Structures are given as structure tokens and as C-alpha cells.
Amino acid sequence: MQTVYYIILVPMVYLAFGVFIVGIIARIAKIWREPPNPTPLLIHPVKKPGWLWTLTDTFLFPTVRRHKPVLWVFLMAFHICLLLLLIGHLELLADFALFQVIPHEIFLGNGFVGLILAICLLYFLFRRFVSPVKDLSVPEDYYLLILLFLVVIFGSEMDWARSWYEYGEMTVEDYRSYLLSLLVFKPELPYSTTFSGHSFMLILHVFFANLFLMFFPFSQLMHAILSLPMNKLRRG
């Protein structure tokens, strides 16, 4: 069993990040090598300055707010929490003075970030079982949501256990030494991460996260990166 744990926590993490980064770069490079469209693809009337409206479109989804307000609330909550999550994970690596401008404990959000994400994901998932979104969806969309839900739920579990039930065997210090060891390519697994009662949470969290990262460059999730240039085309 410990071998499996090791494979998931060390080589697979490297592999996942490798696929994620190389995959994204390769996909983007392939797209950017294509010639630009011969004509402008603007929607009129054009509002100035175009770049500002492009940013608004990309980060605030105004069209969704207008046409699908409920979805918009969940989307905003989801994407904001995603950002907080990213910060949270960075803080597991080291202290960043920048993020501590608003002082908080690590992990950020006291368990609620994960909770909100999980709720949003359930909403996204269940709306895909109702027509007409059901008729538009393909299996990929469901798998992605389920996968992400699994990542989130096991990740949150660790946070909830620590923040809400004072489970103290796996600490931020443990995670930090594990992650830092990965970062400097001298992987080391602290005893508690693989031998305590909640170890399997970490293993599953990392396992599903690895899968998610490896799938990212080849899925519709590329919208995260392509949204900006696409909105630029529309706004000019």
C-alpha cells in the first residue's frame, strides 16, 4: 500500500504537472501558429476602450449575468473560490506577505472555500441533467465536474477535519515539508502524511487532482486560457 501511496504522491504529481504545463504550452503554440482570421470578428456597437471591456467580459461574465442570473451567482462564487484555492495552495508552499495583507490562517477560508466549491459543482452537475443543457452536454462535461468534485471534497475534508474537528495529526507543517521537498526535487514523505488515519484523504485528493491536471489541456477547460483572446476578438 505504501508503494501505491508513494507513486501517487511523488512520481504521479511530477507527471501530472509535466503533462499540464507541457500540454498547455503545446496546445497554445499549435493554436497560435495558425494564421489570424482574415476579417475582424467584432460585435457592434464597439465600446471603448476595448481592452477594458475585454477584461470585464472575461472575469465578470456580464452576458451570463444578464441571461442566466442564477448560473451567474454560482459561476462567480465558483471562480472566485478557485482563485482563493490557488492562493491557499501557494501558501501551503511558503508564506507570502502579499497574501497576508488580510491576515488569515492557513489554509485560507476556514473550510468554507471548499464547501462553496462543492455546492457550486453539485449545482453545475445537476443542471446538466435538465434539458436543454442536458441535450448540449457531452460525457466530458459530467466527468470533469465529478472529477473536480472529488478533488474538492477530499481536499476540503482535510481542511474541515483540522478547522472544525481539531484533528491535529496532519498539520500544515507536514504538507509544507512534503510540497517543498517536491519543489526542490528531493521528494520526502513526512511520516504523518502516509501513516495517519486521514492519509487516504490526502492520497485521494492528490490522485484526483493529478487526473484533473492531466486532462486539463485536452478538455474544454482550455476556456480558462482562451477566454481572454476570444473576448478580445468580439470587443476589438
Task: Give the one entry of other proteins, ligand HEM, none that residue 148 binds, where binding means its C-beta sits below a cut-off of 5 to 8 angstroms depending on kind.
Answer: ligand HEM
DSSP conformational letter for 47 = P
- Side chain identity, residue 175: Y
Cα–Cα nearest to 79, from 133, 129, 140, 124 = 124
- Region binding other proteins by CB under 8 A among candidate stretches 1-9, 12-20, 43-51, 106-114: 43-51
Alpha-helix residue ranges (DSSP H) falling in 94-171:
112-127, 133-136, 139-165
Given 10, 106, 118, 221, the residue binding ligand HEM (CB under 6 A): 221
CB atoms within 10 A of CB 150: 18
151 counts as binding ligand HEM under rule CB under 6 A: no
186 counts as binding ligand HEM under rule CB under 6 A: no
β strands within the chain, DSSP E: none
- The interface mask with other proteins, positions 122-161, x = CB under 8 A, is -----x---xxx-xxxxxxx-x------------------
From residue 68, how far is each of 61, 72, 116, 139, 202 by CA, in Å? 10, 6, 19, 23, 36
69 counts as binding other proteins under rule CB under 8 A: no
93 counts as binding other proteins under rule CB under 8 A: no
From residue 22, how far is each of 1, 29, 30 by CA, in Å? 30, 10, 12
What is the contact surface with other proteins in residues (CB under 8 A)?
Answer: 27, 30-32, 34-46, 57, 61, 63-64, 67-68, 71, 127, 131-133, 135-141, 143, 218, 220, 222-223, 226-227, 229-231, 233-235
What is the contact surface with ligand HEM in residues (CB under 6 A)?
Answer: 58, 61, 64, 71, 75, 79, 82, 124, 141, 144-145, 148, 221, 223-224, 227
